């Protein structure tokens, strides 16, 4: 059974940093795009960042570009999201996800393209 478990969320002041982790078990995802999404109260789930299989090309939403960094450790089957210069508008539940297709060539920001999801971790940024 595939499980994705996020950790690292919490309460932080604006300008602070957090590092989220997502550990996968039950299957190896070396050949899949892995991504982070977030959902604030009353809003739709939105794409944050993704990292490709192979050389690990990275992709970011404009709202986090330059502040967030996604990385992966294939040996640990884990993906990370380093979040710096946090803003109150970054407050949300953050989810990691794994793409439905192996070796996808074009990374997608559409949640429906991702098959496996974690339970989410709350990130709250105070002003």
For 3-19, the pLDDT digits (tens) are 999 999 999 999 999 99
Q: Which residues, given as ranges, of the chain have pLDDT below 70?
A: none
- Pairing between β-strand 68-73 and β-strand 10-13 as defined by DSSP bridges: unpaired
Q: Is 88 helix (H, G, I), strand (E, B) or coil?
A: helix
What pLDDT was estimated at residue 95? 98
Q: In whole angstroms, how large is the CA radius of gyration of the chain?
A: 14
Residues in contact with 22: Cβ distance below 8 Å, sequence separation at least 6, in sequence order:
4, 5, 6, 7, 34, 36, 78, 79, 80, 81, 96, 118
């Amino acid at each position: 059974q595939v499980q994705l478990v996020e950790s690292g969320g919490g309460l932080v002041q604006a300008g602070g940093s957090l590092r989220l982790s997502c550990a996968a078990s039950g299957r190896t995802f070396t050949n899949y795009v892995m991504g982070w999404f977030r959902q604030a109260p009353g809003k739709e789930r939105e794409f944050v960042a993704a990292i490709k299989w192979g050389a690990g090309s990275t992709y970011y939403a404009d709202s986090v570009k330059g502040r967030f960094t996604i990385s992966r450790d294939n040996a640990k089957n884990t993906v990370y999201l380093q979040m710096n210069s946090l803003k109150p508008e970054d407050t949300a539940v953050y989810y990691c996800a794994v793409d439905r297709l192996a070796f996808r060539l074009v990374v997608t920001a559409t949640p429906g393209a991702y098959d496996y999801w974690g339970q989410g971790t709350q990130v709250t940024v105070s002003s």
